[in-house]
Structures are given as C-alpha cells and as structure tokens.
Amino acid sequence: MTAPGRYAASDNSFTKSTATAAARGGILIVIAIVIGVLLLWQGFDSDEPITTVEDETDETGDDAEEEEATPTTAGDDPEEVDTPTTAAPTTAAPVVVDPPNSVKVAVLNGRGEPGLAGARKDHLTTAGYVAEGFNADTFDKEFSRVYYTPGYEDEAELVAVALNGSPSVVERVPTDPLTLVADSNPSAADFNIYVVLGADAVLG
C-alpha cells in the first residue's frame, strides 16, 4: 500500500507565508541601509580628521628629519671634552722694606732689669739696625711691644722677629712717642720704631 503524498493546501496558505517572509526581508534590508547612511553621516559630520596609516608614517618621517636638522652645540657632542680653563697664578707683589741700616730703633727697658735695653740694642745693631737704648716711662710694663711710626709696619715685624718675638706684638705708636720714654727724653725723638721690653720677656 502506497502512502499518500503531501500536497499544498488548497487554501493558498503556502503562498501567504512566502509573501510574508519576503516582506520581512525587505524591511530588514531597508533598516540596514538607513543605519549605514546614519553611520556615514555621523562620520562625515565629525570635526576630527580621518588619519590613515600612510599619514602617520609621513608625520614620523617629518619628525625624524626635524631631529636630524637640529643643530648640535659643543655640549651635545659626546666626543668633545671640555677642557677646564686654569687661571694664570697671581703672585703677590713683594713687600718692599727699608734696609736695616736705614731704620732707627729705640729700645726701652720697661721692667727695670739693669743693662736690658743696652743688651737688646746691641743685638739689633749687630743685625744692621741703627739702635739706641733708653728707659721706659715706667719699669712695671707687663707686656712687650714693638711700636711703629707710619710707613714702618713691615719693618717693625722684622724687628720683632730679630728679637726672637713674633709680629703679634706689633702695634702703631701713640700720637706722642715720647710718652713711652722716661722723662719724655727728647733724644728719643725721631725714631722709626720703639721697642718696649716688658715682664713677659717675649722680646728678650
């Protein structure tokens, strides 16, 4: 017995379903076209320029050319070595002092030790100075000093050293040098340097 075959319904339902599917497909196509048009329209309406890979390559090339064109300075050259400049050494001008035989020194006994001024005067005379011995205004001088008149400071330091002392005892002479001498002895005037021998015995 042969099975009966299937035939299209006589009420045209197959034709109706085919037409409905075609209509749906057409609607989907239209919707896709509209969406595509909207997307394209938004792309053209954007202010941002559309860059391509080729444009980016060109910009990179331009940057490389600008870097190559940038001039290099002396500090940018790795092979260049900065040579430190050394200033020429400056030598201080030599101190010019008068020779000992042109310097007059008054040696004053300020501690009352007999023959003290004469002994130190002889020591300076041996060193070439023109020296004389006197008594100081008092015999209770505690500190030894070498006083200089204007223009004889360097010579006074040398006199202090000649008497086994140091330049630290050097001072400028009082306005009236004779106040350092007993009875303001006028014979002690016009000396360039006055040495006062005190109790500290730093000058002998």
Query: Could you read off the pLDDT of 115-126 as tens digits, one per residue?
Result: 999 999 999 999
Dihedral angle over CA of 145, 115, 105, 189, nearest 10: 100
> Residue 159: what pLDDT?
97
| Separation between Cα atoms, residue 16 and residue 18, nearest integer Å | 5
Helix axes 116-126, 153-162, angle to 10 degrees: 110
> Residue 167: what pLDDT?
95
Mean pLDDT for 131-140 is 97
Quick: pLDDT tens for 10-28: 555 555 556 666 777 778 8
Is the alpha carbon torsion for 168, 169, 170, 174 positive or negative? positive
- For residue 134, what pLDDT band results from cuts at 50, 70 and 90? very high
Mean pLDDT for 38-57 is 57
Per-residue pLDDT for 50 more than 90?
no
| Separation between Cα atoms, residue 59 and residue 77, nearest integer Å | 27
> Residue 96: what pLDDT?
73
Per-residue pLDDT for 2 more than 60?
no
Sheet containing 130-135, strands listed edge to edge, beginning at the edge strand earlier in sequence: 130-135, 104-109, 193-197, 145-148, 170-172
Per-residue pLDDT for 202 more than 70?
yes
Count of alpha carbons within 13 angstroms of residue 6, beta-carbon side: 1
Answer yes or no: pTM beyond 0.75. Answer: no
